[in-house]
Structures are given as C-alpha cells and as structure tokens.
Structure 1
Amino acid sequence: MMVQLHNTDAAWLLAAVTSIVSVHGESQSLHLCLSGGTTPRPVYEKLAQAEGFRALVASRAVHLWVGDEREAPEHSDLRNSDMIAEIFAAAGLDFKTVAFREVQAAPATVCGLFLHAWPTGPRERAAAFYEKELLAHAGEADAAGSPWFDLVVLGMGQDGHTAGLFTEEDIRRGIEGEGSAEHSNHAILLTDTPQEPKRRMTMAPRVLLSSRKILVLIRGLSKARLLMANVFDERADPIKYFLRDSCEIVAQI
C-alpha cells in the first residue's frame, strides 16, 4: 500500500491526477471506475483538462464506469453519473454516454471516451441493467485473465463508508461465497442509508476489488485520521476492506 500526504490543494490534485493518468492496462481499452461525492469532483475537473488524459482518449478506448449511484431523477445534482458527465462535457471533451453492449462489438482499434451511466428510474430496474452491463464487460476481462478495471477510484465518508457500502453487513453480503445465495454472486447491491436519498445502488465489494489499482482520495485531517485508524486496525469501517496491497492513498491534510 502506498500513502501520499499533501498539505496543499494544488499538490493533492496533481498527485491524484498523475496517479490516474499513469494507469495503463494491457489492451487497447482502459476501464476506470469512478466514485461520486464532493471529494473527487475537483480531481475529475483537473483530469478532464490534463494533457496526459486527453492523449489517452485520443489513442485508446477509455471507459468510465460509476461505482455507485443514488435513486434520483435524471439531471439531479444528487446523481453521480450526471455529475461525471457534466464535468467532462464542461471540459469540451467529446464523449459518448452509451451502454457497454453498444460498443462491445466495435473494432478493437476504436478510440474515445465512453461513459457508462446508471439509468434513472426505480433502483431495482437500474441495478439489473447495470449488472448486465458489468457482466458483459466481465466476460471479456475474465476471458483475457484480466481484472475488471484498470483503476477504481474511491472516496470515504465521515463515517468510514465508501461507494454505496455503509455497513459491515453491506460488505459481508457483497463478498463472493459469503452471505445467502441470493446475494453472494451479485455484481450490484441495493443498500440504504439514513441520509437522503436513502435508496442506493453500488458495485459489490468483490467487483470494486477486481482492479489493477485502487486509488483512495481523502481530503481533510479528520478523514485522514479515520482512514489511518482503519489502516492500523483500530477501526473496521467499510473502507478497510479495500486497503490492500493494490491500494494507493492520496490525502490532503
């Protein structure tokens, strides 16, 4: 595990963007799984303007997946998919919001930026759609002996949650081989939180872990202390499950 601590916004942003741009997969396609929330937003804004990222988009197919979503109306400020789309559109990047299965049959030489957004509507239907999308991609990755993602970006809440995983039970039922048969093999979980909007959808822990690298973005001393408590086994919040050898922490304190 690598930990970077920065005491200025500029240094933190540069380190985070550099970490993302430095990721290289083993194929013509690059699959990045992005988190929502306020912490990563300025990172994505900087990333969208970065020459290194634009060079990747010009030379490869860069797929943006969204790790978790909220049940909210289309174009709501609460939707992670819409926030990510807004950022890359504002940067003037030419990208397509498409289903993965629509580009799956494209020539191997295709280049560009593709956002795989969660659909709106009832979360049960949205989750079923996104799970089919993920499994279509996973079939290709598994056949190639590759992880599902080249990079997963995670944030952390003040309570230690990450993505749409809020409790130990959320983690437990999302791990393959644990929990009931109803949940153990699901790529997507439905979770709930006391905060509005309460109804959430998230990639399962085993899916988020299927990545060459996990980048955890932290901002603020209180969050940094909470994260370190999980690193040193003083706490066991949902974020702790992802603090593996493949994890890189970039924190601003």
Structure 2
Amino acid sequence: MGAEGDTSGREVRVLDDHVALARAAADEWRLRALAAVAASGRFAVALSGGATPRAVYALLADPAAPYRDALPWARTHVFFGDERAVPPDDPRSSYGMARGALLSSVALPPENVHRIRGEDEPGAAARSYEDALRAFFGVAPRFDLLLLGMGADGHTASLFPGSPAIDEPSRLVAAVPAPAAGPARITLTLRALQAAAHAVFLVSGAQKAPALARVLSGESGAEALPAARVRPAHGSVLWLVDRAAAPFLAAP
C-alpha cells in the first residue's frame, strides 16, 4: 500500500518498496499509453537510465506480468531524456540498458526507437537529436509520458546543479560536461522537459531522501536543484518514491 499526497502542487505517492514502485510505474505507463493511442493514434515516451527504471522496463517486458501483451507497441515511439557520450554497446549507455531490459523483448518497430547517438561528438549529437525531436513533434516535444530519475544531488536527466544548461532559453537538447570523471552527456533541457504532458519521477533509496525532501519542500532555494524545476506548464508531475527515500517527507 502507498500513501498519496500533494506537496507543492505535485502528486506524490509513497510505495512500500522498489518492487511496488516499479509496479506503479508500469501501471502509469499502461494508463498513459492506452489513453494516448486512443486520443491521437500514437504514444510517445521518453526513457530514463539507471537501476530504478531498469526494474520498470524488465517488468514491462515480462511475459508473465500484465503489461507486455496489453500494450500498443506498434504505435509506441521511444525517446530518451539523456545519454552518455558512449557507443550503444557500452555498459554505461542508457539506450543499451533499455534495449537489453525492454526494447529487444517487445514488438516495437525499430524505426520507432529514437535514440541519442552517444558515439558521435556530443555537440553534434545534441544538434542531431534536437532536429529529430522537432521533425517528430514540431516546436516542442510533448511526450505523453516522460520518465525521470533524481540523483542524490537533485539532478535530473543530465541537468546538474550549477550547470549553465539549466537556464538554456531556446535549445531542446544540450551537450554538457560530466559532473565528475566520466564521459560527457547529451540531455534534454528544461524547455523540453516542461513541454511533457505527464512527467513521472522514480526515486528509490535512502541516499536520495535529503534531496527529495528539499525538492518537494517548496522552500526558498529549493529550485537550485534541477529536479525541483520540472513543472510542465500544461501537464502533470507525479513522484513515485519508495519508503526508503521518503522519511523526511511531510505526511499527506
């Protein structure tokens, strides 16, 4: 069982553990996919990397779970919120992870997978992905479902605290340096994230608890954390968090 509440204008659901969190996220995917296809004939979803989304993808691909055979894969278009500047077969690739956990196990047409080319020079990859988004969506990428994670520092996608990319006024995609040793990143900007119809954050683990409480507090200074600034002007934000990440949240 989970607790539900509204913190600073956002819906927050606290689930018992990471298993319940993955199930809630898969339910949200099914809900949004079926509604989008009924309304427009297609479902556009942007994926996140990381361990928590991987569990969701594995559940969606599981033939024993009530998702894989009930979802409109032929009308689903998959995008990515960010990517490391690595080839798709690199273990650090978000696309590679999603391919192994989900994309290779469902009836998704290959042309419906719109990946960020992490093997290209980061600036060129960012420009190319922005062109692809504009070609598909028009002015702004209105994802039917945008899956996001949050780091212990409050970052989301590859928008890190203090990064100039946070305040990028016009670009939909930016190349950014790694926050520490590691490959550069290509990320959707806030302008792109804010255009989503439905954004869902997946947050698991005690190490995320302090940042989560600050992001959802609404207090002065909280917007220094990029995750706090994801508020689609014409969409919704849902936070799915497990109890380990939620000890500092106010009771609903």
State yes or no: 1:70 paired with 2:60. no
Q: TM-score, normalised by structure 1?
A: 0.80
Report sequence identity in percent. 28
Partner of 2:29: 20
1:194-245, Cα deviation, whole Å (9 max, x unpaired): 3342411101111112111110000013313321211113433010001567
8 Å contact from structure 2 (residues 25, 56) kept in 1: yes
SS at match of 2:51: coil
Partner of 1:201: 186
The structural deviation recorded for 1:192 is 1.4
Alpha-carbon separation, structure 1, partners of 2:148 and 2:199:
7
The structural deviation recorded for 1:84 is 0.8
Q: State the aligned residue count.
A: 222
Alignment-mate amino acid for residue 19 of structure 2? A
State yes or no: 1:36 paired with 2:49. yes
State yes or no: 1:54 paired with 2:53. no
Alpha-carbon separation, structure 2, partners of 1:129 and 1:71:
14
Partner of 2:99: 85
State yes or no: 1:148 paired with 2:136. no
Q: Which runs of 5+ in 1 are unaligned?
A: 99-113, 175-183
Alignment-mate amino acid for residue 4 of structure 1? R
SS at match of 2:44: strand
Alignment-mate amino acid for residue 157 of structure 2? A
State yes or no: 1:190 paired with 2:178. no
Q: TM-score, normalised by structure 2?
A: 0.80
SS at match of 1:84: helix
Partner of 2:208: 223
SS at match of 1:86: helix
Alignment-mate amino acid for residue 226 of structure 2? P
8 Å contact from structure 2 (residues 57, 101) kept in 1: yes
The structural deviation recorded for 1:171 is 5.1
The structural deviation recorded for 1:89 is 4.6
Alpha-carbon separation, structure 2, partners of 1:96 and 1:164:
27
Partner of 1:108: none
Alignment-mate amino acid for residue 125 of structure 1? A
Q: Which runs of 5+ in 2 are unaligned?
A: 1-9, 245-252
